[in-house]
Amino acid sequence: MRINDDFSLRACVHADAIDWVPSPMAGVERKMLDRVGGEVARATSIVRYAPGSRFSPHVHGGGEEFIVLDGVFQDEHGDYPAGRYVRNPPQSRHTPGSAAGCTIFVKLWQFDAADRHFVNRNLFDAEQKPAGGREGVTASDIFHDDRESVRVERWRAGAHIALAPEGGLEIFCLDGDFSEGGETFRKHSWLRLPQNAALDARAGAGGCLVWVKEGHLRFVDADLAAIAST
C-alpha cells in the first residue's frame, strides 16, 4: 500500500474529509495519512479504538510514537489520557487497547534502529517558552536528537509563521487553525513539507496549537530499508 509516498512533494490530509478504514483488528479503525507497506509499514495514521478493543501483543521492530487525541489509551505499562505523547523505541513490546475507547495520532517505523529512548510526556501541560526570533510563537521541546526535533508550538492569533527546515517538516494541528498553501488546516489536519521546502503559514483568528516534527525526512530511505530487511 502506498499513500502520500513521494517524500519529495508537499502532502496534506484534512482528517475530517476522509473516512475511517477498518484495520485487521476488530473495533480498530484508521485514517491513513502516509504509508509505504502493508501491515508492516512506514506509516502515519489517526487510529480509533472502539471501547473494549485491543491489538494482540506485538514488538515494534521500527519503533512507534503517538499522541492520545481523546479518550484513554492503555497497555500493560499504564493508562495514557488525552494529551499524552509517547515514544516506544525499536524492539519495545506492548499490548495496546482501550477499555473506554480512544483516538490516537501514530507514526510507525520512523526511528533510528539504535534508539532506545522511551518518552512519556503531557503535551498540554508542557511549559511553553518564547521561540527565539519567531514573533508570536511559543514552544515546548518534547524530544531532540541528531535525527529530529519534536516540539509543541502555540501560534498567536494572526501570527505569520516562517521556517526553513533542511530536513523536512510535519505539522499536526492539535487545536485551532492555520492557513498554508491556500488551504486551512483545522483540528487534526496534517501537513508534510519535503526537505528544503520552506513553511509560510499564518495562524487563524483564534490561534492554534500544533505538534511539529522537523529533520526526520532525511532518513526516509533508511526507514524503508529497515522494513525491507525484516
pLDDT (tens digit per residue) in 55-73 = 889 899 999 999 999 999 9
Asked if residue 82 and residue 109 are part of one domain, the reply reads yes
State what percent of residues in the chain have pLDDT above 70: 100
For residue 53, CA distances in Å to 1, 38, 49, 57, 102 come to 24, 21, 6, 13, 10
Cβ–Cβ under 8 Å, residues 157 and 209 = no
CA distances from 106 to 131, 183, 190, 214 (A): 26, 23, 12, 16
pLDDT tens track for 64-117: 999 999 999 999 999 999 999 999 999 999 999 999 999 999 999 999 999 999
pLDDT tens string 107-151: 999 999 999 999 999 998 889 999 988 999 999 999 999 999 999
Question: Last residue of a domain, which of 94, 122, 150?
Answer: 122
Q: Is the pTM of this model over 0.75?
A: yes
In a domain, 222, yes or no: no
- Measured in residues, the chain has a length of 230
Same domain, 136 and 186: yes
Residues 110 and 136 occupy one common structural domain: no
Domain membership of residue 178 as a residue range: 129-217
